[in-house]
Structure formats: structure tokens, C-alpha cells
Structure 1
Amino acid sequence: MHILHVVQLYWPAPSGAARYFQEIGKRLVAEGHRVTVLATDAFDLEHLWMAGKRRIPEPVGEHDGVVIRRLPIRRLPAPAILYPIIRRLMVELGRLGRPAIPTLRRLATVTPQLPDLEAFLADPYLADVAVVHTTNITLDFALIPVVRWARRRGLPHLCTPFVHLGEPGSEQVVRYYAMPHQLDLLRQATWVATMTDLERAYLIRRGVAAQQIVTVGAGVNPAEVTGGDGQRFRAIHHIHGPLVLSLGVAAFDKGTVHTLAAMRQLWAQGSHAVWVQCGPAFGGFAETVAALSPDEQARVRVLGYVDDTTRRDALAAADLYVQPSRTDSFGITYLEAWCNGVPVIGARAGGVPAVVRHGVDGLLVRFGDVPGIAAAIDRLLRDRALARALGAAGRARVWRELTWDAVYQRIRPLYMPHFSEHRRG
């Protein structure tokens, strides 16, 4: 069977969605299926709306037996701020409901654009595609034309939307993932694969049929994130006391700003813990770090992108992992920490409360609650027995249900025609 995956960023781009499709794709190939990935040429997400960011120039490639076709992005000749302006306009138009759907579809494809997409979809190479799997409902510029093409051909359409739910009771984040045209696309899909039951419940409330939605989650390959040398990491970065680790994008929505503020509170109270942040910085975070006092800067290690060896070493060295984010539909980094027996702190936002169980395998705080984050960090640094118990519970759960092999077993039936006939019949 020939399967088309539509993923806006793909390997080697550092994207959670890319990793999700990479893991699924290579397992489909191992079972004898052909998998083609349609991706953009973006390496950095911001390349979709901003010039000067990294891209992947090779139009054709292969990885893990999966064929990769990359199409170049074209943007309107305007400042990068045009993109968020258009998206905000779409949110406001979405208040009109279903009558706004045609206009929203047109606005979604104004910028960025994939000028070579129609020619790609007309290529005879795709003539035998049997299933289309799309993703990232908020990056709908790529989904809308592909879904229209699949519908004309009568192909089953599976969508993993990665809806970011944001804070409970607030539409500030989720409104960009639940505009009328986006919900309409999901309602017309054959299957919708969600990260958590929280995401599934939200989509059901917004009119997507319950029988269409299957929670598959995300996973980790434990062998790839364990075995690091914690002592080597500490020696290289001159860390001798407690180590608090954060991975991924340093940004407000990820809770990075709040984590730093919490650490400053603890330092003011006499803590000698060092905070390590690995990942790219957005939204003025670098300037925030630069404004710290010399004593505070001595307790911060902002490393930016790191290679896999450094990442494993950091995880092996960590005493606890902190990511109080409101924009995680799942949060794979919690699993990476658990694989190393490291307890985690997350926020009661997004899909995280379905992943991190408060008091069982981690602690949860309210998003943006700096005193609450500081108290949780301090508690786990002081109560090492609790920290070890939470980390051990997380590690056991990963091996039980949160590996990529387990994820594949949950999503695999959605690709199989007989499964669709059974469930629909």
C-alpha cells in the first residue's frame, strides 16, 4: 500500500510532529508499505513566514526507507508580522461560524504558499496512493489543497491535528486550532488521531464525531535517550550542585520565562541549583538572560541547540525536569526525563495533565504561577525520596505504554481498509 504523509517540517528538522511521522513511517515501511512524505523546505518553523531562517534545499530525499519530497515555501513580499496579523484576522472572522469557512480557506493559503503543490499532486507517482495522513491543523496552508485532492480521489484521510488546548477555560491558544474551517476539515476526515483524551474530548465538544477520533498519543525510544554520561556533562559545564533541566524552545508559552523567574526566587532564598536550558530561544528570551545579575548568570547554562549525545548527558545529569508549558499537545520531553528516572514538573494546561499525573509521576502547577513553580522545584530538590519515586513511576509507565512501538500499535489499524469498514459498518 502506498501512503502519503503530509508534514510541514520533516527530518532532519527538529519537530515533534516530524518525529511522530518518522517513527510511524519507518514502521509502515518495515511492514512492506511504501511511504512518501510531502514536506516543505523549512528547517526552522519560522521559515514558513520569515526570511533568513534555515531551510533544507534538497527537493528529494530518503530516510528510514521513506521517500521525502520537499516543496519550496513562497511568502508574500511583506514583513514577517503579516502572518500573525492574518491569523488573528481569521480568528475574528471565525466568530461568524460556518458562513466564514470559504473566506477562511482562502486566507489560510495567502501566505505561506506552496506554488509547486498542484504539480506535485498531479504527478503519476502518486497515482496509487491509498491513504493520506496529514498533520498540524494550525498550519492549514498545506492541508487544505491536499485534503481537497484526496476527497476528489475518494481516498481515506487520517489527520493528526496536534490541537494545543492552552489553559483550562481560556480560548487564547486553542482558538488558533479550532477555527470553523479547521473543525470542518476534521469533521470530514475519515479518522482523527489525537494525542490525549483531553484533546479528544475537546474536539467532540466542538462537533467532531466521537467515533471518528482515536487517541494514539506519542512515545519515545528509551534506548535513544538513555545511557548518557551525567558526570561528563557536569564537568564540561562546571555544575557541582543540583541541576534543573529544561529542553526545547525557550519561550513564554513553554513556561521558560516563568521557570527562570522561579529559579531567581530560589537563588534569592539561598539555593545553589543550576538551571540548564537546551533549545532555541524565541521572543526576547536571550535578552532576558543577558539582563540577569552576574551571580544569577553564573547559575544559568543556556546551550541552544544541542546534539543527541549532549542531550543524553544532560538528562543523565539532571535532578529534575521542568517544562510548565501551555502549548504542548503531549510533551515527549517528559518521557525522555522519565526514561532516565528524572521527576518532572508540568503545567495544568494543554494535554499535559493527561500525560503527567500529579503526585504519581510528576507535579503539576498552574501555567504562569511562578511561586508555584518555585515551590515545586524546591520540594523535589529537598525531598529526594519523593523525586526518586516519581521518576521511577514515570519510567515504568513509559515502558508499559509510551514507547513508539506502543503508539504504532494504536495508530496502525487506522491505515487498514478493513478496520475502517469494521468500525463504520
Structure 2
Amino acid sequence: MRRIMPAMHALHVIQRYYPYTGGSELYFQEIGEALVREGHRVTVLTTDAWDLDHFWAAGRRTLPPGETQHNGVRIVRFPVVRAPGPPLVYPLLRRMMVELGRLPGSTALLRRLALLTPRVPGLVHYLATTREHYDLVHTTNITLDFTIIPALRFAQRRGIPHLCTPFVHLGEPGSHAIVRYYAQPHQLDLLRRAARVIVQTGREGDFLAARGVPRERLRLVGCWVRPDQLAGGDGARFRREQGIAGPIVLSIGVAAYDKGTPHTIEAMQRLWQAGCDATLVLIASNTMAQFEAWYAGLPDATRQRIRLLRSAPHQVKLDALAAADVFALPSRTDSFGIVYLEAWCYALPVIGAWAGGVPDVIRDGEDGFLVRFGDVEALAERLALLLGDPQRARAMGRRGRQRVLEHFTFEQRYARMRQVYREVGFGAP
């Protein structure tokens, strides 16, 4: 006879959440909704940010603060408060923290500096005063530590487990340009104090273990997709609505330098100059201000060969996947890259960068290609190869799809996540 466990209450703390559906946001949305289907309660504490750069710059898109509910998950959204001054205040503070982190004994100071800007005082107040019972706290995005620090303190006061999914961006091999913002002394200290640290690739786990995060607390879960929820794309409809007849190179994600968006455009410019008739489609959940300024300065002839679709509906994204011939996201800031799995669901060959956790996801030459971040020439060559050899491109895409079905479905990966929750006493038999 199956034993019925009492419902428990999980607190998820994430900097952005539904209706924004980036990688980490969708990741936590699906975990929370699965727990609700099991009969548990889930509360999400988040901010009013839609655009990522709302955390350091005024005039970006936001969502109304307050309490709502979606698919059984309670969502409490708090306003972001920034320090006065220009947007440069945030990156300058973070750069100063990186330099201070070189000094011994700087952890406590860095922890205080991390809470200067941005601040989310409503979230801090809630955690300091709420009488609600919670059985577990799960935080994420270690570089946005201003919400993780108060959440850890809350878990310690309550004597409940704290899990963290840091999504560490390792950046390019041999370069600390990116990873130094994800591995500052106070951030590593947060992870060392967590009951479990959930990583997406072996590379991420090895990196953290080498920096003192106990390996016995590291758990490799990885990312996933739901092939059934990605079905139904209509490529003909997308081509008709966008007025595209020839091949399509597709990129999905934040439009930003670190995601390789300008490099993708520059590679396409080389192909267009050589007579290629492909169209570049950029589906951008968020366009960073720096990219917007760069994009506005492109020649009209270039922008006419690009379809930049901001915050496109889910169905448009599916239609674009069905219409595309190649998927390209040569990013240096992906701890995994769920979008590669989504592209593989449509049997598309993919191009990523030798950076972050992506080399653990894409098998270079088998289901996609990897290029050095920022290597426009190599990127153009790989794009030309795939566009010029549709048979090889389809074979690579089919291998990727098979791998998704065998290893990266929600059911397979959520089972790993659920086991981590059980290890710390959440819903354990």
C-alpha cells in the first residue's frame, strides 16, 4: 500500500519569473508546477524585472508588483530599487568587488556590497517577517546574488534546507572575463553553505568542486525539454507571415554581445556578400540596450535581411523552428543551453561556442558544431557548410533529436531533481 505523504511547502527565490520565460525562469516554472501537481505548495519570490538590465538601468520593461498565481504556483513580485546614478554604477561596483575578492578575508565585505544595488527591500522584509511555514528554500542565478543572500539567511534562521542552482557561466576556456562574476568569494561561500548545489554539466561541477564546494553536495541534474509541448510548429505559416522564401538561420535568446548575436549578424554579412540568399531570424526574449544601439547603426541593407522578433509568442517560436534550416547561438554565457535541445526537437543542426557548459551539450561534428566565441570567420564557414549541404545538416539534426529523446526529456531530468529534494527531506518516503 502506497504511503501518502503530507503536503509540503517549497519557497523558490528567482530574480525573474513567469510570464518571462527565459532558460532559468522556465526551469523553475516547470519544477514548481510539477511539485504542485504532486500535491505540494510552491511560493515564488521574484522581482518586477522583465528586461535583465532593469536591475541596473532605468527605463527598461517591468511587470506589476504584487501577488498572483499561475498553474497553482503562488507568485509574489517585489520592486527593484537601484542606487542613484547612471547604469554604470552596477558594473563598476561589480568590477570593484572582483578586485576586492583578491584580498584575503573579503567575504563579509563582499556580501554587504552585493546588497547595495540593486536592492529588493520588499523581498528582504518579507523574509524577515513572514510567519508562513516553509520546508525548503531553492535559489538560483549566483551572479544575481542580491536575492540569494537574504534567502540563505532565512533558511538558516528557520533551520530548513537551502538548495541553490547557480547556473555558473564558465565563459571561454582560459579566460576569467565571465566566470569571475560567478565565482567571487562570497558567492562560493553561499554555495559551500548550501545543503545541495545543482549543476547542469560536469564542467560546472568540476569547476565548483575545485573551488571548495563539497563534491558530496553537488548534484548533476542538467536541463530538459518537453517534446510534446514543442510540437505543432508550422514552417510554411512562418515563411508566409515573414515573407521568407529561401533558407533560414535561426537564433533564439537574449540579443546581446555575450550571446554572440553581433557575431552571428557579422557572419551572415559575409555570407550575403558571397551571394547567399539566407535570412537571419532573431527571436529575442530580451534585447540589451547595448545591442539595440549597435543594431540601430547597421546598414539598412543588412537589417532588411534580418527578422528581429522581440518577445515573440510561443507559437511563433515553434513556427520559426519548423521553418529554419540551421540554429546558431555562439554564446559564452550559457551554463547549458536549453535552446539547443529545442532546436534538436525539430531536427536542426546547431552551432554553439567552445564556452560555458555548451561543449558538454553539443558534440562537435556529430549533432552540431562548436566555434571559438567571437570567431566570425569560423562561424561563417560553419554556417556556409550546413546551408550548402542540407543532407549532412539533416543527419546532424536527427542525431541531436534522438539524443534529446533518450536523455533530455522533462521526465528524465525532473526525476533527478525530485531525488535531490527527497535527499533533504522534501516529500521523502
Normalised to the residue count of structure 2, the TM-score between the two structures is: 0.94
Residue number in structure 2 paired with 1:380: 386
CA contact (8 A) 1:320 1:343 kept: yes
Superposition deviation, residue 54 in structure 1: 2.0
CA distance in structure 1 between the partners assigned to 2:244 and 2:293 by the alignment: 23
Counterparts of 1:352-391 in structure 2, within 5 Å, are 352-391=358-397
CA contact (8 A) 1:278 1:302 kept: yes
Counterparts of 1:89-108 in structure 2, within 5 Å, are 89-97=96-104, 99-108=105-114
Q: Flag the 1:150–1:292 CA change in 2: closer, same or farther, 3 A.
A: closer
Residue number in structure 1 paired with 2:204: 199
Percent identical: 53
CA distance in structure 2 between the partners assigned to 1:122 and 1:288 by the alignment: 43
1:137 aligns with 2:146: no
Q: Flag the 1:268–1:113 CA change in 2: closer, same or farther, 3 A.
A: same
CA distance in structure 2 between the partners assigned to 1:152 and 1:195 by the alignment: 29
Residue number in structure 1 paired with 2:274: 269
Task: Describe the superposition over 1:280-316 as per-residue Cα deviations: whole angstroms up to 9, x where unpaired.
Answer: 3325434444444444333222222211111111111
CA distance in structure 1 between the partners assigned to 2:199 and 2:246 by the alignment: 40
Q: Flag the 1:180–1:200 CA change in 2: closer, same or farther, 3 A.
A: same
Superposition deviation, residue 19 in structure 1: 0.7
CA distance in structure 2 between the partners assigned to 1:326 and 1:348 by the alignment: 8
Superposition deviation, residue 332 in structure 1: 0.9
Residue number in structure 1 paired with 2:229: 224
Superposition deviation, residue 258 in structure 1: 0.8
Give the match's secondary structure for 1:218.
coil
Counterparts of 1:192-341 in structure 2, within 5 Å, are 192-279=197-284, 280-341=286-347
Q: Flag the 1:46–1:286 CA change in 2: closer, same or farther, 3 A.
A: closer
Counterparts of 1:91-170 in structure 2, within 5 Å, are 91-97=98-104, 99-126=105-132, 128-170=133-175
* Paired amino acid for 2:73: V
Superposition deviation, residue 115 in structure 1: 1.6
CA distance in structure 1 between the partners assigned to 2:227 and 2:106 by the alignment: 45
CA distance in structure 2 between the partners assigned to 1:314 and 1:264 by the alignment: 21
Unmatched tracts of structure 2, length 5 or more: 1-7
Give the match's secondary structure for 1:3.
strand
Q: Flag the 1:86–1:274 CA change in 2: closer, same or farther, 3 A.
A: same
CA distance in structure 1 between the partners assigned to 2:65 and 2:97 by the alignment: 33
CA contact (8 A) 1:413 1:419 kept: no
* Paired amino acid for 1:90: M
CA distance in structure 1 between the partners assigned to 2:409 and 2:131 by the alignment: 33
Task: Describe the superposition over 1:180-236 as per-residue Cα deviations: whole angstroms up to 9, x where unpaired.
Answer: 000011011110001111111110111111111111111111122231111111112
CA distance in structure 2 between the partners assigned to 1:183 and 1:226 by the alignment: 40
CA contact (8 A) 2:44 2:75 kept: yes
CA contact (8 A) 1:226 1:316 kept: no
* Paired amino acid for 2:323: A
* Paired amino acid for 2:177: Q
CA distance in structure 1 between the partners assigned to 2:82 and 2:296 by the alignment: 33
CA distance in structure 1 between the partners assigned to 2:151 and 2:288 by the alignment: 31
Q: Flag the 1:272–1:186 CA change in 2: closer, same or farther, 3 A.
A: same
CA distance in structure 2 between the partners assigned to 1:278 and 1:51 by the alignment: 24
Paired residues, what number? 419
Task: Describe the superposition over 1:324-375 as per-residue Cα deviations: whole angstroms up to 9, x where unpaired.
Answer: 0000111111111111111100001011111111122111111111111011
1:345 aligns with 2:351: yes
Give the match's secondary structure for 1:95.
coil
Superposition deviation, residue 417 in structure 1: 4.6
Unmatched tracts of structure 1, length 5 or more: none
CA contact (8 A) 1:229 1:316 kept: yes
CA contact (8 A) 1:38 1:68 kept: yes
Give the match's secondary structure for 1:277.
strand
- Greater alpha carbon shift after TM alignment, 233-242 vs 335-344: 233-242
Task: Describe the superposition over 1:221-261 as per-residue Cα deviations: whole angstroms up to 9, x where unpaired.
Answer: 11222311111111122211111011111111111111111
Superposition deviation, residue 384 in structure 1: 1.4
CA distance in structure 2 between the partners assigned to 1:168 and 1:339 by the alignment: 28
CA distance in structure 1 between the partners assigned to 2:53 and 2:301 by the alignment: 33
CA distance in structure 2 between the partners assigned to 1:95 and 1:355 by the alignment: 32
CA contact (8 A) 2:47 2:65 kept: no
Counterparts of 1:46-57 in structure 2, within 5 Å, are 46-57=53-64
- Greater alpha carbon shift after TM alignment, 398-407 vs 88-97: 398-407
> Which of 43, 47, 50 is 1:40 aligned to?
47
CA distance in structure 1 between the partners assigned to 2:153 and 2:139 by the alignment: 12
CA contact (8 A) 2:127 2:150 kept: no
CA contact (8 A) 2:161 2:424 kept: no
Give the match's secondary structure for 1:67.
strand
Give the match's secondary structure for 2:147.
helix
Superposition deviation, residue 77 in structure 1: 2.0
> Which of 81, 92, 97 is 1:85 aligned to?
92
Q: CA RMSD, aligned part only?
A: 1.7
